[in-house]
Structure 1
Amino acid sequence: MTRSLRIGVDVGGTNTDGVILDPSRSSEPDRGIVAWHKASTTGNPSDGINNAITAMFDESKIDPGEVASVTIGTTHFINAVIEQDQARLAKVAIMRLCGPFSKGVPPCIDWPAKLRNLIRGYYCLVDGGLEVDGNLISDINEEQIRREAEIIKRKGIKSIVINGVFSPVDIHYKQEERAAKVIKSIYPEADIVLSKQVANLGFLERENAAILNASILPFARKTITSFQSAISKLNLKCPVFITQNDGTLLLATAAAALPIRTFSSGPTNSMRGAAFLTQNSIKESMMVVDIGGTTTDVGLLLANGFPRQAAAFSEISGVRTNFSYPDVRSVGLGGGSIVRRDSDGKLRLGPESVGYLLPEKAICFGGDVATATDYTVLGDEKVNIGSRELVVEAGLEGNLKDLKDLVKRMLERAIDNMKTSAEDIPVLLVGGGAIIAPDELAGASKVVKPEWSGVANAIGAATARVSGIIDTIENTETKTSSQVMEDVSKRAVEKAIEDGAKADTVQVVEMDHLPLQYIANKSRFIVKAVGDFDFSRQIAGVEEATTGTTEQDGMAEFAKGSSTTDHTLKEVIDAPEIDISSYRPKIVGREWIISETDLAWISTGCYILGTGGGGSPYGHMLRLREIMRSGGVVKVISPDDLKDEDLVACGGGKGSPTVSIEKLPGDEMIQSQTELYNFMKVQPNAVIALEIGGGNGLQGMILGASTNMNLPTVDGDWMGRAYPVAWQTTPVVFQETPVFLPSTICDGNGSVMFMTQAKSELMVEKAFRAALSQMGSHVACAKAPVTGKNTKSWVVEHTISLSWRIGRAVALARSENRIDSVAESIIAEAGGDESAKVLFKGKIVGVERTLRMGHVYGEVIVEAMDVSGGERAEFQGKMKIPFKNENILAIKENPDSSETVVASVPDLICVIDAQNGEAIGTPEYRYGLLVLVLGIVASEKWTSTPRGLEIGGPKGFGMDDVEYKALGKFRKPRSVIEEFAT
């Protein structure tokens, strides 16, 4: 008998949808849909699957022998994490192959306390890890690994994660694989998860994903076994697949080992189903609007038939991960959304919803709650749901027009936020709630409501394909980028075939090339290939995937794993919520003692003051918080309180952001300081940040709290922002001879370099930059101290205070649900309307980047739009912002096509996410983001002299034709110490 039919089942929290599909008839009017079914999800998912497939068999009268595959989409695994269910989450041990790195940022450091205490059972740091160029940090030490495996075994923790620095590009040494083999020899019953098999570059985020994956492994085996039991009871002798969140599928055996890849596959299934339903009518990118009972999910389906992916990092229940997610925005609009009029007479729709109780609560079904479905029944006689008479009797007709207008505006707004250009785009409506949407929408070239759209998620599951993804760093010295891309593409195709794809159906659907900053002839290449599953290669029955584990065995094994307790790790409780408006920082005498609340606000402010550069402070914030939780005290003092003879130390990080997200800091920063001061035979009295903008803005506090003397950090820095090179500092403005000599850099792995003499700070910078690639492309730098007297003359004052104020303003705006006024709050803290202003509001519609001399140059284009949900934009036209790591200019495009420079360095040009008030760095610029562009007047330390403008102004970036014009009048930030000292 020919096996040609495919079954897709999507097990959601509310409904279980099913479809039987004949792919050979997909071009016919019925799209080859043999049968479909929708029913409420059951407590036991296997019962729901069984019921759905049985109902479709009864309807279609097909022979089970005709079925080639069953593909299931499920939310069960992600729900286990979201619900923090101890019965479904096992304790995990984590082994890092990292050598001297990452010790300041232990595993799960940024997790919600309850989830961390529930999952993290033990961790250890051992030798191993690679540099970005593939050379060894150190090889693994098998004896170390054996000792740690014995400890883990004694603790009874069966789920183990191995995470090596740059392991995703480790194709020669295979450190994670070798470590796993050693552990298995000691502890054969353990489940071992290799981080490189879970996610790609991004050490902490990949580790997080691997830990979540390891924790749900026992529950995943049990669940997938129950799925297969349901299939077995139906006498189906075919492979069982589980859908991944990138629109492709995994054999059940693979999904049982990598359940995290199924997280949030529901929206992707709906979008892939939409692509299938419109395959003959739409050949371009389109917006898919999936309207459910409570929310509407909006995502962009690319012309290749796969969803546009979200930014590099995704968050699951408060945990940052870095595996592929569809870029989907949710709006509180659905068929069950509640309709009401406020006391001010304004009609409101959602976000409250009756959800799955719609058949009981809605007026059209005899209930007493007015919902969006009731108004749809009232306004469209073709809608055959419930009773129109009941709705008429309830007197809802007076609200009908207002409701229709409101639904239309909400959908148009959601679609516009996801578009990447001003051009109209096809819009496809799917989901059970699609009946509430109008037939025409602004911004849509056409609105399509296909038949069977209510089970688009099951159709997406049935039509999912096999993928092969290669994410690697390659040498471009002997080959062109296009030649390397061709080689990587071949590897992706081979990977897809190896994973089960039929060779003649595989095609490359995504490719990306990212040059690495400060690293010569190295680039990151990401390629994804997909193809249809090759059923001729393998017809697997249920027994293949269960690997001998019965449903009861899975339960017993899991109960044992979840009871494991580790007494060597103290439980941590999340800090309680605070009243932001009444919060007062702790000032003791003239010292500001930094709290975790202060640190969070300062971090937010530092990134905003980074003007697009400086790197995210996130990792540095985690490290400093860990120092504080371990008893370290972080003290900040006013520059006014320095003595003339004091020595003020300074340090920071140099290198490629790609390296810094993978090779987390060890002791190199404090080592560079120690080496320098041992050489100079002096000791500093305080520390200052090189730049307040970005990650280095926290480095002074990290250094101060890490020394035995517990040095205070000066409330100020040498830039007042972030600049791309270390010689663009205020001391260089005021003193032409080298200021920071001697200087030292350390790679943290045994290499130290001194610069004791040079003609200029520029020459010091050039020499250190040249050494970067030989020292792992990321180093810590210590600069010779500056006297207290000179510090008071040269410092950009009170910038830690300014960061704190900006961060507090953002936090307060969030807590009071007034993000649309966050720009004005930041302006108030930055000196008011005379010292700062909103330069533009809109959506990013274009980004270009290139790498020159180690720096990323580029330009971002923002198109005017009302970012707060209204209908009229405050600004018109477009704004261009050129950048060199940091934003350089803000250029307004005029109606006559001429251009006006409205702001330039050294004034600060800050791009902020309009949705949450957080800074957006230049590496994070991407199409579709809604942004605010703020301008803040630079310190007079930059603007009061020709030399300051030559170094820090447009001329410092090679823009001799641009003349600096101040945005307004600089106002020195108010000191937190002065305000709150008693």
Structure 2
Amino acid sequence: MGSAPEHKTLRIGVDVGGTNTDGVIINPSQALAPDKGIIAWHKAPTTPNPSIGINNAITTMFESAGVDPDQVASVTIGTTHFVNAVVERDPTRLSKVAVLRLCGPFSQHTPPCVDWPREMRDLILGHYALLEGGLEVDGHLISDINEAEIKKECAVIRDKGIRSVVVNGIFSPIDTVERQEERVAELVRAEISGCDVVCSKDVANLGFLERENAAILNASILAFARKTIRSFQEPVRRLGLQCPVFITQNDGTILSGDMAAKLPIRTFNSGPTNSMRGAAFLVQDEVDEAVMVVDIGGTTTDVGLLLANGFPRQQAAYSDLAGVRMNFSCPDIKSIGLGGGSIIRNNEVLAVGPDSVGYSITKEAMVFGGNVLTATDCTVLLDEKLDIGNRTLAKGALSDEDLAKFKAVVKYKLEKIIDTMKTSPEDLPVLLVGGGAVIAPDELKGASRVLKPKWSGVANAIGAAIARVSAVIDTVESTESKTTKQLLDKICNDAIEKAIAAGASKSTVKIVEMDTLPLPSRFTVRAAGDFDYSRTDLSDTLIDEFDPDKDSFIENFEKISGDSGRILVTDTKVPEDVDIDSYKPKVQNRVWYISETDLIWISTGCYILGTGGGGSPYPAMIQIREMLRRGATIRVVSPADLPDDAAVGCGGGAGSPTVGIEKLAGNEMVQAQEELFKVLGKRASHMISVEIGGHNGLQSMLLGADSNLNIPCVDGDWMGRAYPTKWQTTPVVFGERSPIFAPVAMADGNGNVIVMPKAVSDVHVERICRAALSEMGSQVGTADAPVAGDECKRWVVENTISQSWRIGRAVAKARRSNQVDNVAETIIAECGGAEAGRVLWKGKIVSVERTLRMGHVYGECIIEGADVVDDDSRIKGNNKYTPSASGFEGLLKIPFKNENIAAIKISQTTIDEEVHETEGDVLGLVPDLIAIIDAQNGEAIGTPEYRYGLLVIVLGIAASDRWKSEKGIEIGGPKSFGMDHLTYKPMGKFVKPISVIDEFDVTE
């Protein structure tokens, strides 16, 4: 690599949208000048073959500004082509996908695409098979792959004509030895010549369903992506530009064209990100507060919150695209089918979109001589000052009254999406960008002012031009000789050096993402910085030489896309949203019949009460939802209504929460119950959850609704939260007989079952089960001997399913009314109010350490204090938060053992390159509940999901009085976690949850 010629100072940015292709040429050294360093810009309709549009954009800009191609340092291209194909459910651009799961007996109740909208699932999922394979969390095999089984499925896939295959194995992201996904991929390629195979581990990280979802979407778009990327590269080569060509990805940084063609999902949100980054660039001298960016294209309107530092607000730990849940963070963007090309239909109701004429607007819109009425036509008719097309051609298409309706519909749609994106009811500036911004009014409800800056129509191209460089290091390292911190420091330095080598300016590179995974110790670090404009020594990213075969591929692309250019949106039937204020659960004769709405709210509440542990309830929620849809009935009864001679069984999962997000349940829960029944010779009449927190909070409902059991579950549990061990339960606290939890049965779902008829104590039950658990994959289903109804009434933490329901309802209501800023306070109100809990901390996670021992995840999370809803609460230029006036200043440490144990203020000092901690005030301590929720949506964040950069709120909730005795504090307090130096002091007064059954019962 040589040094850069001094005259290569210009950057070209091109954004290829569904409707328009925009371009700019920028001189970054003049960014603070009045013209922002923008030398030339261009906007024209996107051509069926993007190559022609890119060529025209660059050529036109060169001619208008007299630019010499030798002055160009790089070309960066952004696109919405891929995400539009998914959002619009376009069958001409999405391929059918076959999914091969390497899962053994697991995940059978949650098949691929089970949580997708039906239309998406029908369009994309062509075949799936649950096959032998998969790993345990420690790297041992669930089972090896079966080549004959794979070849048999390949024959089916081949016969169905499917050319895209996803391979997803349990714990594949930590599979560095067996390489199961890679081996299966090789087999598939050998059996199905020329097919695309996507290994899930290349797309996303831990989180089985979410990773699989992302891989399926990625696979579906691959063929289209190759054609598109090549069409982007061709004009640059033909114009003789000797510079690298980049594609922008979701976080506003750049990808090589080759990588973008393999992982197009990384570009899905690059269009909105480019617009937001470009918007920040345009108003950097005018706005010093958070602003809502509304990017109106020809097909969609994308809305996101641009923080005061110029970076988009990021989504939560999980992202959602077209109803599909994935597990990598993206800018928090909401899209609606509204744009300049939106088709207008005036039947019984005047409808604007969601379908669009797309890039054919200059042919099909009336003002351009076409015969399709579009939003642009209506806007031109409403505003005589607009110099777009020929107004007379559209005259009379709508009456004045209907034009007024159009104006009102557009205004309503924009105000609604803006309102949805706000986290506070306060007005804030709205920045309109994009070629379709002309359809937007100058005033909008919820906007303190509406800004339409110069060059806003090409903000997306500007954002592409100023895109940053990033580098990722994803490695597995041994922690035997070095600490996690030492390894992480080295990996961070390596990531920074890698980013610099990729073209980043050394002075601007920062670490923007860090993650560590336990056993084996896997580290993922991302560094990002501004492009070093003085360098063009990146020859490895230059595009390939001319290839006739590839060029003919572009001709095929032209044929596919060139018919009409019209973009169609499948009309999906979405059930009406529940009116939260008026919704009443079905409770008849003291029996609560659970609906899907109830289930969703209970699931949300369970994870918050899980205090970081218990595992995500999401897979169990999906499994139960499918049971309800197949006709199952879930009944919940009050503990107060139990007959004294009832036999109240208990079942749940035991193990690590990290395992729970990856190894989805098989039949281990029911298997354990069946084995216990064989020993006891009798069945339970009711079912109770061992803990309400997390995944186990739903198990009493899942087991009760199982066709083999079909019994009601009790509105209560044995913890009132989540704890890591069975002896940390209220029956053990009461100690009326010992052991409580024997006999006990345990099944791993893989054919291994243990039944313990006797034990000396509940501690021995736990120790023996825990020892076996480590050899059974760190996750099992358990069944405990039933207790009598009168015993249950004495020991139970009452009404905790009701409490979960109320918490979930509060979170849903906060979102619906845009009161997420106050969601923490709303949750606390549902748990008894200010006396029963409080907000302990707000801030950003800056450090996470985890290790796995005996099926438990141990570690600690460090949160840097900040008011997470303030404009200036995001990363500043020094990659740090500015302390707010909210009182959350400094650092908070949360140690955890599956669940959060304490919330302790700390100070850190560095001596001889080692960080030393000094503990300060204890803000919260077990048995009180310490829960961490996502500051942006109110959802719980579990210990497996803690990661660098998340904005969070820490809640403290008073524990049940069942834990307030001396023995309760001994069993569930700090000493039980080895923290003898801490003394428990109640943070508040426990308030008994209000029973849903008592409140809503209709007795016949």
Q: Is the counterpart of residue 741 in structure 1 residue 733 in structure 2?
A: no
Distance 1:914 1:783, change over 3 A: same
Distance 1:309 1:546, change over 3 A: farther
* Partner Cα distance (2:819, 2:31) in 1: 50
* Partner Cα distance (1:910, 1:529) in 2: 30
Distance 1:819 1:172, change over 3 A: closer
* Partner Cα distance (1:861, 1:506) in 2: 24
- Tell me by how many angstroms 1:73 deviates: 0.6
What is the TM-score of this pair, normalised by structure 2?
A: 0.73
2:691 corresponds to: 691
Q: Which amino acid aligns with 1:543?
A: D
Q: Is the counterpart of residue 535 in structure 1 residue 516 in structure 2?
A: no
2:765 corresponds to: 764
2:524 corresponds to: 526
1:781 corresponds to: 782
Determine helix, strand or coil for the equivalent of 1:971: coil
Asked if 2 retains the 8 angstrom alpha-carbon contact of 1:14 and 1:356, the reply is: no
Q: Is the counterpart of residue 806 in structure 1 residue 827 in structure 2?
A: no
Deviation string 1:355-394 (CA, Å, 9 cap, x unpaired) is: 9999969999689xxxxxxxxxxxxxxxxxxxxxxxxxxx
Name which of 969, 979, 1003 aligns with 1:949: 969
Determine helix, strand or coil for the equivalent of 1:550: helix
Distance 1:590 1:31, change over 3 A: closer
Asked if 1 retains the 8 angstrom alpha-carbon contact of 2:849 and 2:860, the reply is: yes
- Tell me by how many angstroms 1:143 deviates: 1.4
1:135 corresponds to: 140
Asked if 2 retains the 8 angstrom alpha-carbon contact of 1:644 and 1:788, the reply is: yes
* Partner Cα distance (1:850, 1:251) in 2: 32
Distance 1:663 1:474, change over 3 A: farther
2:43 corresponds to: 39
Moved more, 223-232 or 257-266: 223-232
Distance 1:141 1:328, change over 3 A: same
CA RMSD of aligned residues (A): 5.3
Asked if 2 retains the 8 angstrom alpha-carbon contact of 1:19 and 1:459, the reply is: yes
Q: Which amino acid aligns with 1:720?
A: G
Moved more, 178-187 or 200-209: 178-187
2:172 corresponds to: 167
Asked if 2 retains the 8 angstrom alpha-carbon contact of 1:844 and 1:930, the reply is: yes
Distance 1:738 1:707, change over 3 A: farther
Q: Is the counterpart of residue 653 in structure 1 residue 653 in structure 2?
A: yes
Q: Which amino acid aligns with 2:484?
A: S
- Tell me by how many angstroms 1:877 deviates: 6.0
Determine helix, strand or coil for the equivalent of 2:539: coil
Name which of 545, 549, 555 aligns with 1:551: 555
Q: Is the counterpart of residue 603 in structure 1 residue 630 in structure 2?
A: no
- Tell me by how many angstroms 1:704 deviates: 2.2
Determine helix, strand or coil for the equivalent of 2:112: coil
Name which of 211, 214, 225 aligns with 2:216: 211
2:408 corresponds to: none
Determine helix, strand or coil for the equivalent of 1:51: helix
Asked if 2 retains the 8 angstrom alpha-carbon contact of 1:836 and 1:934, the reply is: no
2:446 corresponds to: none
Distance 1:545 1:847, change over 3 A: farther
* Partner Cα distance (2:241, 2:717) in 1: 69
- Tell me by how many angstroms 1:68 deviates: 6.8
- Tell me by how many angstroms 1:123 deviates: 1.4
Determine helix, strand or coil for the equivalent of 2:614: coil
Distance 1:691 1:355, change over 3 A: farther
Distance 1:414 1:581, change over 3 A: closer
* Partner Cα distance (2:963, 2:739) in 1: 18
Distance 1:924 1:483, change over 3 A: closer
Deviation string 1:598-635 (CA, Å, 9 cap, x unpaired) is: 21121122223334443332222112112222343322
Asked if 1 retains the 8 angstrom alpha-carbon contact of 2:657 and 2:943, the reply is: no
Q: Is the counterpart of residue 855 in structure 1 residue 858 in structure 2?
A: yes
2:484 corresponds to: 481
Q: Which amino acid aligns with 1:789?
A: D
Deviation string 1:828-871 (CA, Å, 9 cap, x unpaired) is: 654567x645x24874256665558743345656556878999x
Asked if 1 retains the 8 angstrom alpha-carbon contact of 2:616 and 2:661, the reply is: no
Asked if 1 retains the 8 angstrom alpha-carbon contact of 2:20 and 2:44, the reply is: yes
Distance 1:161 1:493, change over 3 A: farther
Distance 1:173 1:860, change over 3 A: closer
Asked if 1 retains the 8 angstrom alpha-carbon contact of 2:847 and 2:947, the reply is: no
2:14 corresponds to: 9
Distance 1:355 1:159, change over 3 A: same
* Partner Cα distance (1:754, 1:547) in 2: 66
Distance 1:137 1:856, change over 3 A: same
- Tell me by how many angstroms 1:717 deviates: 0.5
- Tell me by how many angstroms 1:58 deviates: 0.1
- Tell me by how many angstroms 1:708 deviates: 1.0
1:401 corresponds to: none
* Partner Cα distance (1:589, 1:415) in 2: 45
Asked if 1 retains the 8 angstrom alpha-carbon contact of 2:749 and 2:780, the reply is: yes
Structure 1 unaligned residues grouped into runs of 5+: 332-353, 368-406, 418-427, 438-448, 560-570
Deviation string 1:66-124 (CA, Å, 9 cap, x unpaired) is: 76753311112112222233343333221111111111211112222332232222211
Asked if 1 retains the 8 angstrom alpha-carbon contact of 2:15 and 2:77, the reply is: yes
Determine helix, strand or coil for the equivalent of 1:89: coil
* Partner Cα distance (1:902, 1:539) in 2: 57
Deviation string 1:561-580 (CA, Å, 9 cap, x unpaired) is: xxxxxxxxxx9976553344
* Partner Cα distance (1:460, 1:919) in 2: 33
* Partner Cα distance (1:811, 1:133) in 2: 37
2:59 corresponds to: 54
* Partner Cα distance (2:948, 2:432) in 1: 23
Name which of 194, 198, 204 aligns with 2:199: 194
What is the TM-score of this pair, normalised by structure 1?
A: 0.74
Asked if 1 retains the 8 angstrom alpha-carbon contact of 2:653 and 2:782, the reply is: yes
1:72 corresponds to: 77
1:968 corresponds to: 989
Q: Which amino acid aligns with 2:639?
A: P
Q: Which amino acid aligns with 1:191?
A: D
Alignment length (residue pairs): 865
Q: Is the counterpart of residue 116 in structure 1 residue 121 in structure 2?
A: yes
Distance 1:35 1:867, change over 3 A: closer
* Partner Cα distance (2:214, 2:335) in 1: 23
1:298 corresponds to: 306
Distance 1:635 1:775, change over 3 A: same
1:469 corresponds to: 472
Which residues in structure 2 correspond to 1:883-922 (within 5 Å)?
884=896, 885-886=898-899, 905-910=926-931, 912-913=933-934, 915-921=936-942
Distance 1:586 1:673, change over 3 A: same
Percent identity for Structure 1 against Structure 2: 52
* Partner Cα distance (2:919, 2:26) in 1: 56
Determine helix, strand or coil for the equivalent of 1:107: coil
Determine helix, strand or coil for the equivalent of 1:683: coil
Determine helix, strand or coil for the equivalent of 1:722: coil
Determine helix, strand or coil for the equivalent of 2:159: helix
Which residues in structure 2 correspond to 1:623-772 (within 5 Å)?
623-706=623-706, 708-735=708-735, 737-772=738-773
* Partner Cα distance (1:463, 1:82) in 2: 26
* Partner Cα distance (1:807, 1:32) in 2: 47
- Tell me by how many angstroms 1:264 deviates: 1.2
Moved more, 151-160 or 72-81: 151-160
Q: Which amino acid aligns with 1:227?
A: F
- Tell me by how many angstroms 1:939 deviates: 3.3
Which residues in structure 2 correspond to 1:544-623 (within 5 Å)?
546=550, 548-552=552-556, 555-556=559-560, 575-587=575-587, 589-623=589-623
Deviation string 1:780-830 (CA, Å, 9 cap, x unpaired) is: 333332222311221112221222233234434544555566567656654
- Tell me by how many angstroms 1:743 deviates: 2.8
Q: Which amino acid aligns with 1:546?
A: K
Asked if 1 retains the 8 angstrom alpha-carbon contact of 2:648 and 2:686, the reply is: yes
